[in-house]
Amino acid sequence: MHAIIARTQLSPNVTRLDVAAPRIAEIRRPGQFVIVRRTEGAERIPLTIADANPDAGTLALVIQAVGKSTRELVALQPGDAIRDISGPLGVPTELIETGRALCIGGGVGTAVVHPIAQGLKRHGVQVVSIIGGRAKEWVIFESELHRLGEVLVCTDDGSYGRKGFVTDIARDVLAAGGIDIVYAVGPVPMMRATANLTRPLKVRTIVSLNPVMVDGTGMCGGCRVSVGGETRFACVDGPEFDGHQVDFELLGDRLGTYRAYEQQSLTRHEEACRIGPQP
């Protein structure tokens, strides 16, 4: 059992849980993730390790509540516990050793960008971060990224920072030159747009993919993606890949495979919550 040490609401539907997992906190590296299971028999959910405190033995898990299982997770309070946390899983981020890196985070993807920026900063790389959200209340990890370098913020409605998308600011930053690599994490359309922006500039671009994942060991095949025309498994070959080689259209199609079933599960969960326990 992994105790919930702290709970923080980051945006209307994004929650940070700091949980006790000392062995993982000690050895995790940027880009890696864990798979959590709230209770015996519950759904297995992959979550990026947004931060870690080896001295305290804790991990920061950032969860977007979009379905039944994630809503149940974010309902946990300090003193509650998560049954299982497996990890660290995945291939650590390939961090450059010198130069200037552009880290782009869209929505909850900003939490995934954070440990990458941390790793780059430790290497002495100059970090510029671009983060965005629908409105001011949806922007997360701004203060954490400010400690690592320059941060540029945008919102869809213009309520905070520059009005527009992260790719609008990225276009200006890239036009000014001096960027050696781009790390982009967010919704599929945002990562695809970033890759299309950097491809003609020949700026290497790394994206973190989030396909359907079950076991996290490469056995189920649920997380297969196409990269450079070859089938890869995000859990063991990724989750990070060359953005110029990813088939984003196929990734988007696969992400929608179980959407109807997920909605049915959520509807049943909401109905059960309204009715309450039956005698």
Report DSSP letters for 142-158, one per residue. Answer: HHHHHTTSEEEEEETTS
Position 239 scores a pLDDT of 94
pLDDT at residue 221 tops 90: no
What sign has the CA pseudo-torsion 42, 44, 46, 50?
Answer: positive
Average pLDDT value for residue range 60-66? 93
Residues 122/150, Cβ–Cβ less than 8 Å: no
Position 141 scores a pLDDT of 97
Position 80 scores a pLDDT of 96
CA distance 118 to 96: 12
Tell me how far apart the 2 most distant CA atoms of the chain are, in Å. 67
Q: How confident is the model at residue 75 (pLDDT cuts 50, 70, 90)?
A: very high
Q: How confident is the model at residue 222 (pLDDT cuts 50, 70, 90)?
A: confident
Position 263 scores a pLDDT of 52
User: How many Cβ atoms from other residues are within 10 Å of residue 188's Cβ?
Assistant: 19
Angle at 101 between CA 147 and CA 226, to 5 degrees: 120
Q: How confident is the model at residue 174 (pLDDT cuts 50, 70, 90)?
A: very high
Of 219 and 17, the structure prediction assigns the larger pLDDT to 17
pLDDT at residue 256 tops 70: no
Q: How far is CA 178 from CA 75, 124, 217, in A?
A: 44, 16, 38
Position 212 scores a pLDDT of 79
Average pLDDT value for residue range 45-49? 92
pLDDT at residue 139 tops 80: yes
Structural domains of the chain in order of their starting residue, each with its CATH number: 2-89 (2.40.30.10), 100-255 (3.40.50.80)
- Secondary structure of residue 212 in the 3-state scheme: coil
> Average pLDDT, whole number, for the chain?
91
Helical (H) or strand (E) element with 48: strand 44-53
| Span of 60-74, 88-102, 135-149, 214-228 with lowest mean pLDDT | 214-228
Average pLDDT value for residue range 129-147? 96
- Phi, psi angles (nearest 5°) of residue 177: 85, 175
**Per-residue b/e over 3-21, b at no fewer than 16 CB within 10 Å?**
ebbebeebbebbbbbbbbb
pLDDT at residue 259 tops 50: yes
pLDDT at residue 261 tops 50: no
